[in-house]
Structure 1
Amino acid sequence: MPYTAEPWRIKVVEPIRIPTREERERAILTAGYNVSLLRSDEVYIDLYTDSGTNAMSDRQWAGMMIGDEAYAGSSSFYRLEAAVQRYYGYPHVIPVHQGRGAENILSRCLVRPGSHIPGNMYFTTTRAHQELNGGSFHDVIVSRAHDPSSEHPFKGDVDLDALERLIHKVGADTIPYVSVAATVNMAGGQPISMANLTALRELTAQHRIPVILDAARAVENAWFIQQHEPDWGEHSVAEILWQMCALTDGACMSAKKDSYANIGGWLAVRDPGLAEQARNLVVVYEGLHTYGGMAGRDMEAVARGIEESVQEDNIRARIQQVAYLGERLIQAGVPVVRPIGGHAVCLDAAAIMPAVPRDQFPAQTLAAALYLDSGTRGAERGVVSAGRDPVTGENRHPRLELVRLAIPRRVYTRSHLDVVADSVIRTAQHCQAVTTGLSFTHEPATLRFFQARFAPVPAGSADGVSGPYTALTAAQKG
């Protein structure tokens, strides 16, 4: 893919520094080998997430100056509402502080003990809210999504046969909605096709089951449809986004992703009864239904970010930057999820560290090793993120064991990505020799990947290596 010049110029810069090797060693030890617990000033290039870490435009910053901070009836809310209605098409818009606020409200409205919620691969907070309200998540994504080497362009598609079998097994009345992510974060930012979404809508309509979209990166999904799906190449990204949403009954949105904002989100639905129920709950958990946990200035930033997100040059530059990093790693032979997704490059930790047992967390180990090498922070998306089975208490073993390098929008230059690529290539080479990983020293009950702590598992090899980081350091110094 050609890498064209970015459709913006730099007006303000934020200084960053490179922590020394000694500083990084102290930092990762203090953080219990969990990059989630690193301080931001201990990180050089931060690819932990693309959520809320984007650079806002001059129009967004200007909009924040006119934010209406009225407690009730903020005019900023009505501008946000109009932007959602125009570009996403949902009539009822309930603001929340961020995407998981929408997940909480939706789950409290629809999920009950014994509910079954199918979806195209889980996301951590989405499933947590479903389970906390008594539901069970069922993965109905196509099998190719679990194969990191598959080049299928729409690995986010729903396996319609698997969904139909689930409906017949548990009964349509136990399924409050089908959860559809576009794109699929845990699969590496893989999109769902318009054809599959259309067929899903037809199937669920037969059983009167709503479809709820995770729209955090739906603009990126629309771009992939435009580029790779027949009959959609002549449509604008904005038109495709509208049509995607038209096939669903509502959406949870983290405006910290596609909308370039640092905070904010919304829940939007078509059913006025559900909207009324959600508005009542948002008052309890978020704030009044005309601010929902956001300041007026944040709603102004989100409204403008929605408009900017569907501009063709903006989304093209976004996808090209992610693809550039991915192609550099592919050319160097680093195992990554293919094809490259919309928001991140995902390293196949199981292939990079084949000798590390899954219950010693290869992705967690690789993320810490990458930080030690260059100060680059990624995010574990494997066994640690998957959590434990609530019945057996055993670690869940997702088929993908990944380190996600999520690229914030409009933040880093190509030079930064070259530093990351060089570090990943170097770290992947060293980690081939690592035979042990990490074990828990502290394990939270919920969403453990955020606050867990670990220690290296001593290796029992005859060469006397005491753990993965000793082995890595020795390889680097050698």
Structure 2
Amino acid sequence: MAKTIIEPFRIKSVEPLHFTTRQQREQILETAFFNPFLIHADDVLIDLLTDSGTSAMSSRQWAAMMEGDESYAGSKSFYRFEAAVKKITGMQYIIPTHQGRASEKIVFTLTGGKGRYFLSNTLFDTTRANIEFSGATGIDLLTEAGKQPSVPAPFKGNIDLDLLEKTIVEKGAAHIAMCIITITNNSGGGQPVSMENIRAASRICKKHGVAFFIDACRFAENCYFIKQREEGYASKSIQEIANELFSYADGCTMSAKKDAFANIGGFLALNDEILTQECRNLLVITEGFPTYGGLAGRDLEAIAVGLEEIMDEHYLKYRIRSMEYIGEKLEAEGIPFVKPVGGHAIYLDARAFLPHIPVHQYPGLALSNALYLEGGIRSVEIGSLMFGKYSADGALVPAQMELVRLAVPRRVYTQSHIDYVAEIIIDVFTKRQEIRGYEIVYEAPLLRHFTAKLRPVD
């Protein structure tokens, strides 16, 4: 039998790429104030900024979109969407939103507020921003294994169970808005969370009367890791694993722009009828009627089909193997990255890659910009630019890790594109001593990395 794992799809439509010279990229980066988010997409050759909303939709999804029912209320497309979400989550009440952060904004507005705490394995940027915007505080309780990029472990996305219980007791259960587990752990290197960890975290929360939620953006990738790595799940389907996983939760949020292959959309799923009604009331004000929630009927159709397609194990095997493939190339060259590779991305360890750049000069951003200059590859810093805070005296409080994420869009790039990415990373690594840090000249109070303006440090 052949050893090569092929793409489990055929390509029926293509989009041309725009090539630039290094001299052009130098000017482009300067015009963008050295922030990859401000670079025009046309000036990017391989765009690995995010896997959110960047997937290639299937012929089935495009066909389903033609059946979209755009009725303002009671759209049949909503009921197809609702059935697809219920089949996976088993939850009673399904609320569509225009994307994941809208789901977070609604439920965090109602459950958060000053003096409230949200506990997590690791909160991603927009999740934390919505928590803080409500006046609440987000606390990351990542397992120790997840804090060591170079040390492999099967479930580095796990929450620290001892710290979870300790924090609930210290803060007081009445002050804990919820515990929300991100699967896979995006900020922590795309690492999976074990079923055992989810089950135990749920048990702790129930004991203390704390709501337990799942951030389900990449639930299928996480379920595939459970199938591959956790005892007792090898013979179970992704659907069965997902059903068990969600059975431990009181609710979940999801950006359908990830594991549902959609270009827009998300949902909030709940079992609490009272909270559901409050969420729907806020939804009507901010998103739209409860049966469309900020989405067109065609989008609801695309998500419904995508949620079915994502559980195809041939696809998931190919997806995870693609990440392992690039990891093997980097490992052979001694390049530091988070090990093992994540489900949707490679995370370079910028602190180890550029040890000569101090944290306050943002080594992650420096590495990200170097990849763009060398080969037109856009990535994203997940470090002290994204997650850094300031102390009372104005000093930078750095992030736990300084990472650069290269998130691979689903069903978009081929093996030759991935080979090219690996070659550029290796080239940059050989020239790493030439790379210099950056300083901020403008930043917004929340999510500063999206719009920050920077300049190189001499």
- TM-score scaled by length of structure 1: 0.94
**Does the aligned pair in 1 maintain the 2:155–2:191 contact within 8 Å?**
yes
Superposed displacement of residue 25, structure 1: 1.0
1:16 corresponding residue in structure 2 = 17
Moved over 6 A (4+): none
Cα 1:7–1:349 change in 2 (3 A) is same
1:50 corresponding residue in structure 2 = 51
CA distance in 1 between partners of 2:223 and 2:369 (Å): 34
**Does the aligned pair in 2 maintain the 1:3–1:320 contact within 8 Å?**
no
Aligned to 1:449, the other structure's residue is in SS state helix
Aligned to 2:431, the other structure's residue is in SS state helix
Superposed displacement of residue 191, structure 1: 0.6
Query: Residue type of the partner of 1:308?
Result: E
Aligned to 1:304, the other structure's residue is in SS state helix
What pairs up with 1:137-152 in 2 under 5 angstroms? 137-152=138-153
1:238-276 Cα deviation digits (max 9, x unpaired): 111111111111111000000000000000011111111
Superposed displacement of residue 445, structure 1: 1.2
CA distance in 1 between partners of 2:272 and 2:317 (Å): 34
1:26 corresponding residue in structure 2 = 27
**Does the aligned pair in 2 maintain the 1:353–1:433 contact within 8 Å?**
no
**Does the aligned pair in 1 maintain the 2:388–2:399 contact within 8 Å?**
no
What pairs up with 1:34-45 in 2 under 5 angstroms? 34-45=35-46
Tell me, yes or no, if structure 1 residue 88 matches structure 2 residue 89.
yes
Query: Residue type of the partner of 1:456?
Result: P
CA distance in 2 between partners of 1:53 and 1:154 (Å): 26
User: Aligned residues: percent identity?
Assistant: 45
**Does the aligned pair in 2 maintain the 1:387–1:448 contact within 8 Å?**
no
1:401 corresponding residue in structure 2 = 402
Q: Unaligned stretches of 5+ in structure 1?
A: 459-478
What pairs up with 1:256-271 in 2 under 5 angstroms? 256-271=257-272
Superposed displacement of residue 391, structure 1: 5.4
Query: Residue type of the partner of 2:305?
Result: R
Query: Residue type of the partner of 1:86?
Result: K
CA distance in 2 between partners of 1:432 and 1:72 (Å): 60
Q: Unaligned stretches of 5+ in structure 2?
A: none
Query: Residue type of the partner of 1:413?
Result: T
2:455 corresponding residue in structure 1 = 455
Superposed displacement of residue 432, structure 1: 3.3
**Does the aligned pair in 1 maintain the 2:368–2:378 contact within 8 Å?**
yes
1:389-443 Cα deviation digits (max 9, x unpaired): 4756543312210110000000000000011000001112211344x40001211
What pairs up with 1:35-434 in 2 under 5 angstroms? 35-389=36-390, 393-434=394-435
Aligned to 2:138, the other structure's residue is in SS state strand
1:438 corresponding residue in structure 2 = 438
Aligned to 1:363, the other structure's residue is in SS state helix
CA distance in 1 between partners of 2:77 and 2:344 (Å): 28
RMSD: 1.1
**Does the aligned pair in 2 maintain the 1:335–1:348 contact within 8 Å?**
yes
**Does the aligned pair in 1 maintain the 2:391–2:397 contact within 8 Å?**
no
Superposed displacement of residue 207, structure 1: 0.5
**Does the aligned pair in 2 maintain the 1:102–1:267 contact within 8 Å?**
yes
CA distance in 1 between partners of 2:390 and 2:28 (Å): 31
**Does the aligned pair in 2 maintain the 1:52–1:256 contact within 8 Å?**
yes
**Does the aligned pair in 2 maintain the 1:358–1:397 contact within 8 Å?**
yes
- TM-score scaled by length of structure 2: 0.98
Query: Residue type of the partner of 1:211?
Result: F
CA distance in 1 between partners of 2:366 and 2:311 (Å): 37
CA distance in 2 between partners of 1:317 and 1:61 (Å): 22
CA distance in 2 between partners of 1:373 and 1:148 (Å): 25
Aligned to 1:405, the other structure's residue is in SS state strand
**Does the aligned pair in 2 maintain the 1:28–1:35 contact within 8 Å?**
yes
Aligned residue-pair number = 456
CA distance in 1 between partners of 2:214 and 2:261 (Å): 19
CA distance in 1 between partners of 2:36 and 2:180 (Å): 29
1:329-358 Cα deviation digits (max 9, x unpaired): 111111000010100000111111101010
CA distance in 2 between partners of 1:412 and 1:291 (Å): 32
1:282-339 Cα deviation digits (max 9, x unpaired): 1111111111111110110000000000111111111111221121111111100001
Cα 1:236–1:402 change in 2 (3 A) is same
